[in-house]
Chain A
Amino acid sequence: MEVNGQLALTVLMGVFLIAVAAWLARVEDWRSYTPLAGGGTVGGTAEQYVSEEKPSGVIRWLTTVDHKDIGMLYGAYALVAFAVGGLMVVLMRIELADPSMTLISNTFYNSLLTSHGITMLFLFGTPIIAAFSNYFIPLLIGADDMAFPRINAIAFWLLPPAALLIWAGFFPIPDVIPAQTAWTMYTPLSAGVGSGNQMNAGVDLMLLGLHLSGVSATMGAINFIATIFTERNEKVSWANLDIFSWTILTQSGLILFAFPLLGSAIVMLLLDRNFGTMFFSVDGGAILWQHLFWFFGHPEVYILVLPPMGIVSLVLPRFAGRRLFGFKFVVYSTLAIGVLSFGVWAHHMFATGIDPRLRASFMAVSLAIAIPSAVKTFNWITTMWNGKIRLTTPMLFCIGFVSNFIIGGVTGVFLASIPVDLVLHDTYYVVGHFHYIVMGAIAFAGFAGLYYWFPIYTGRMYQVTLGKWHFWLSMVGTNLTFFAMILLGYGGMPRRYATYLPQFATLHQVATVGALILLVGQIIFVWNFVQSWLEGREVQDGDPWDLADDDLVTAEWTWFERKLETAVTDGGEEETELATDGGQTVDDADAESADDA
């Protein structure tokens, strides 16, 4: 009998799958971490559960439901995305050093522009925040873990396929090209209408990836809301809740109301593209898309900026030697931003010709939302006023955040005014404004957090001099690049173009130089980060920033101190990791709960 080739392949695949299953069954006793309601495990005691909670090696990272591990996964993912999005824009900025099309084609520029935006907002911004919140929120509020640890893991594992789908057009797949719709995906371009090439499957894959990242963010948000409401230590009342948890709670509320709408709009767009529906093809369809998109899109801005504000509000006072000035002002203004962020979406649409009465209302609320943001800025400045300032790297990034946030914020207030917006709409002024926020503020706060908590998640200290080089290059690069963009906008340079008139060349070249300075800064960061993680000085003290001197120690550092102490009791440095993984049996109930976290 002739052996069919396909049959042979099927059998081979079957044998391979059985081999994989057998290998997975051998590398770990899977039943050992099937928890029972009573806290024990099938076939084991509670102690066994604790000590065998995690497998080792890659399997640990693939199967973990520990909030700290998931935080690390989010962090690694976000930094890889930051590198990808950053390199994309470096290529774009080099192209823009010359007015005409030189290095890359105009269509490839459009592809990079689209992917840079989506990557930075959805694959870097949201995940880097999730990295901090996953790792630290349970520690800060005295919870054992997140309310739903497995949902937490699923939320993360949706992200890698999301990234692959979003970047699919760049892979060598036949007939698939990258999306060129910009991150706003305005119809009719994104609906594939007309003679362009945006009917391509690359756009569909990007939309599906974006949808997946939205599902992930929503699952994470539900988890944080449940955790902060129900899993707090009994001592952590609403009055005792730290500022980072407040901002994450507000952010999660925003995600819960905003992302499902994006998901619905994306599904409608996919239906228009593939199944002949006409949600966005009929009269008013383009405006409908803009309303749906920006009802998500503007809260998204605050989804991205509130937690970094929380990080700065937490870190900045530690190096000013005093508690945050007007703590409750910051809490209430965070909540105010949360509510008002849903009432300003059409300020992105002032130039579309919507009714002037509606524009006026959106302008009013846009001006009102500036107040809570300004209040926070005054609180940060007042906290530093006459304080014992220590210019450590995280503190420098916090001060850089405040400085850049002021420029980004003030330029934004002008845009809230209809007449000014009509002049500056779709110019580089807008690009400069929001990059001062997303790079100058959000990424800076991310770096502040990464440096501040570096000892906790690595057990080591970063190299101080390199940290300061990273800050100063980032600060100079950011201001050079984005201030040049603001000036370009005043000059009338429209955004999103791969080529431009020669009169804009000088400022574009300044912006390119700034971007290259930023690149050098980030290379130093990667070097410092990786080398210090592997070879940095080991931290012996649970309070490496000497926060106790000013009574500013927060819960995560006491957890870290206990971790170091128990590691020593357990038999020295060699077993640091074991102690972290399993925790110790400690008589003190509080210590035990924090240990398990």
Chain B
Amino acid sequence: MATKTFDKETILDLTVNMVPLAIILFFVVAFTFVNPFGFESLTSGLQYTLLIAPFVLLAALTYLSGKAIAGSEKEGTVYAPGQATVPGAKPLHEAEGEETAELEESTDDDAVEAADETA
């Protein structure tokens, strides 16, 4: 189920939170190897806790919110944000489909025009 919910698209969306996670992870490793102030159990423990706690909490919230959003995308109709209750609003995939079709159509028209001009 998890792999179904977290498809490629969702994982791509979640990368935005992976960057700060990576930065925190970088500093965890960096402080392990570069430690000019020495190791002292209480202070160093707090030092790592202050990095690891936000890391874990952010990872957990990202996972839960990703699951909630991707899950509701799978279960129900997706509209543009804030437009679900607007009468006559089209579901997002239809609206996007139309946009793509329009784009393709205009590209085709351009091709025909270009061909005419060449001819």
List A residues at the B interface (Cβ < 8 Å).
140, 142, 233, 235-244, 314, 323-324, 326-329, 331-333, 335-336, 338-340, 342-343, 355-358, 360-362, 364-365, 367-369, 371-372, 375, 551-555, 558, 590, 594
Q: Is B83 an interface residue (CB 8 A)?
A: yes
With the chains together, A314 CA to B82 CA distance in Å?
9
CB distance from B89 to the nearest CB of A (A): 8
Cβ contact within 8 Å between A235 and B79: yes
Residues on B with C-beta less than 8 A from A324 are 81
Q: Can you name 14 extra interface pairs (CB under 8 A) apart from A332-B13, A362-B50? A: A233-B84, A238-B65, A238-B68, A238-B69, A240-B78, A240-B79, A323-B81, A343-B50, A358-B43, A360-B27, A361-B47, A365-B50, A551-B90, A553-B86
Q: Is B95 an interface residue (CB 8 A)?
A: yes
With the chains together, A365 CA to B16 CA distance in Å?
16
Residues on A with C-beta less than 8 A from B3 are none
Partner of A368, one of B20, B73, B95: B20
Q: Which residue of B lies closest to A338 (CB)?
A: B61
Cβ contact within 8 Å between B24 and A365: yes
Residues on A with C-beta less than 8 A from B119 are none
With the chains together, A236 CA to B83 CA distance in Å?
9
Q: Is B100 an interface residue (CB 8 A)?
A: no
Residues on B with C-beta less than 8 A from A552 are 80
Q: Mark B83-104, 1 if CB is under 8 A from A, else 0.
A: 1111101100001000000000
CB distance from B54 to the nearest CB of A (A): 4
Partner of B84, one of A142, A340, A362, A375: A142
Q: Is B17 an interface residue (CB 8 A)?
A: yes
CB distance from A503 to the nearest CB of B (A): 37
Q: Is B112 an interface residue (CB 8 A)?
A: no
Cβ contact within 8 Å between A590 and B37: no
Q: Is B1 an interface residue (CB 8 A)?
A: no
With the chains together, A375 CA to B82 CA distance in Å?
21
With the chains together, A372 CA to B23 CA distance in Å?
12
Cβ contact within 8 Å between A343 and B54: yes
Can you pick out 25 interface pairs between chain A and chain B where the beta carbons lie within 8 Å of each other?
A: A235-B84, A238-B72, A240-B79, A240-B81, A243-B81, A244-B82, A327-B81, A328-B16, A331-B69, A336-B16, A336-B20, A343-B53, A355-B37, A356-B37, A358-B46, A360-B47, A361-B46, A364-B51, A367-B23, A368-B23, A368-B24, A369-B20, A371-B23, A555-B82, A555-B85
Cβ contact within 8 Å between B47 and A358: yes
Residues on A with C-beta less than 8 A from B71 are 238
CB distance from B68 to the nearest CB of A (A): 5
